[in-house]
Structures are given as C-alpha cells and as structure tokens.
Amino acid sequence: MSGPHEDARKLVTWSLSTFHASAFVLAIVLLLYSRGGLGPALGGLNTLFGLGLFVALWVTTYVTTSRALEGIDLLDPAVDRVRFLRRALRWGAANALAFLAVLGILFVAGAILTAPAGLMSLVFIGPFAVVIGAAVGAVVGTFFGLVDLALCALARAALVSET
Amino acid sequence: MQLDPHVLHLAIRWIHVAAMATAFGGAVMVLALSINTTPREGDAGLLDAATRYEWVFWAAAGVLAMTGIGNLATFGQGLPVPGTDWAAAFMAKLTAVIALVVFSIPRTLAVAGIRAGVAAPRQRERIRSLYGATAAAFAVILGLAVWLAHG
C-alpha cells in the first residue's frame, strides 16, 4: 500500500517525464517552424506514425525518468544535486538509445516489407547513430536535470514564501 | 483497409479539444473549490482535488502536445510560412504553451510537497494563486487557439 510520500513521488515522476517529452518536442516544433522547416518535415510524415513516435518517446522518457529519480527526493532541500545531474546525464543517454532502438525496429520492419537491400545501410549508419544519439541524449538529459533543479527550487520557494 | 485521413484528422482535433477542455476546466474547478470551500470544511478535500487534477493535467498536456502536432500535420506543405499574422499568433501560442508546461512543474511539485507533508502556511491561498495563474494562462492560450482556427 502506498503512503503520501510514495503518492507524491509517483506524481513527481509522472509530471517530470511528461514535461521532458512534451517540452522537448514542442521546442523542436518551435525551432523548425521559425526556420520554415516544419511544413516539409510534417508533409513527409504519416500522421499515425508521428503520433506513435510521440507515444514511444513518452514511454521511454517515463521509464528513464523514473530510473533517474530512484532514491532521490527532489522535494528535499538537501537533495544531492550532483548525484541527480549524473543520473540525468546517464538516463538521458539511455532514453535517446531506447528511442533510437524503437526507430531501428521500425526501420528494419519497413525495410523487410519493402526493400530488404536497405538493411545494409543500417550496418554503416547504426554505430554513428548510437554514438551521436547517446551524446545528444546525455546533453538534453543534463539540460533537463538543471531545469528540474531550478523548478524544484522555485516550488520550494512558493511553499515557504509569504503569500 | 485504408483509414480516411479526414476522419483521422477530425478524431485528432476532437481529442485535442477534449484534452484542452479537461485541463482548462479542471484548473477552473480547483480554483473555484479554493474560493468556495470554507477553512472549516478543511483543506483535505481541496488538496485531494488538486492532486487528482495534477495527474489529469499532465496526461492532458502530453495528449495536447501529441495531437497539436497532429493538427499541424493536416496543413502539410500548406502550413502558413513565418512572417504572416497566422505565424505570429502560432508562435505566440506555442511559446505560451511551453511556458505553461514549464511553470506547471513548480505547481505540481508544490501540491506534491504539501501532499507529502511539507509545511506550507496558508495552503488555501497558495493553491488559489497557483490555479488562478494556470486558468489565466489557459484562457490566453485558448484565445490564441480560437483566433488561429477561425480568425
């Protein structure tokens, strides 16, 4: 049976993971649109496939965020920030690799059904994608870790300040 | 069997509107509860409603982001280019949505903190301020959304 602390921890995990996935995607949409690249990007994407990719990112982000928060209470003013940021870096990279794995599975399935010869390109592109994906994921994870810590400080200030 | 793209886009739009109504309506409901319930009735019910709302809010936020992009996909190559009035309103809306998502984290953490027993004086006033700000942000985003759809 879960108590108030466990309920609060689950809510923090759910909110932070959804925040990370949504803010990441919305920031990319804003950046692409401001540079005029959103129309062509969306024009080449099947709508259901796009929705599925968002759900996949949401799921991998939830799993990796909950692992990153294991044993860490962000609501505690004495939270070990360095430990949390190390976790954010590591699990950010893991999230990117998990999402990349989903893309890889879809690519392989698509290639088997349509053009099996295309599978050879995966052998060449795969290692680069893994290295670049992990690096980008680590940077994005650390960035969100820093944002999370700042927002936690804001929440604590909101709780104790005079209204 | 091929899915009719018009049916798909209509379904996505309905889900988007339903998620927006849930998130906006929920914020207004918690705000109304914080105004209408008296301290004698206790803060436990209000805190319960706020906690439930936070779970729903984040589910709605994810669905809104997902279906919002699905709505944009309807435009495809015909998406208005930056530099137009529509583009300015769209970028303002998107910026407001990102700001709402970012500043909803302190609200959720504050509610989770109170729930976990963190001492917070004047809980009712704090909850009122947090949900008043959330409802106001939603009203601005809704205004921009209506302008984008019908303006």
> Is A119's Cβ below 8 Å from some Cβ in B?
no
What is the spatial distance between Cα B151 and Cα B149, in angstroms, rounded to a whole number? 6
What is the spatial distance between Cα A14 and Cα A19, in angstroms, rounded to a whole number? 8
Q: What is the mean pLDDT of residues A81-91?
A: 97
Average pLDDT of chain B is: 89
- The pLDDT-based confidence of A114 (bands split at 50, 70, 90) is confident
Give pTM, 2 decimals.
0.92
What is the spatial distance between Cα B50 and Cα A79, in angstroms, rounded to a whole number? 25
Nearest to A160 by CA among B69, B121, B96, B9: B121
Distance from CA of B1 to the nearest CA of A (A): 14
Is residue B30 scored above 60 in pLDDT?
A: yes
Neighboring chain A residues of B112 at a CB cutoff of 8 Å: 8-9, 11-12, 15, 75
- pLDDT (0 to 100) of residue B144: 94
Neighboring chain B residues of A74 at a CB cutoff of 8 Å: 109
What is the token pair recorded at A4? 């108030």
Percentage, residues of chain B above pLDDT 90: 62
Nearest to B134 by CA among B56, B24, B34, B51: B24
B86-140 pLDDT per residue, tens: 999 999 999 999 999 999 999 999 999 888 877 667 788 888 999 999 999 999 9
Q: Please give the backbone phi and psi of residue B42, each rounded to the nearest 5 degrees, phi first.
A: 85, 155
Neighboring chain B residues of A19 at a CB cutoff of 8 Å: 58, 61, 101-102, 104-105
Is the complex ipTM higher than 0.85?
yes
> What 3-state DSSP class applies to A144?
helix
Amino acid at B61: A
Cβ–Cβ of B81/A163 closer than 8 Å?
no
What is the spatial distance between Cα A95 and Cα B30, in angstroms, rounded to a whole number? 34
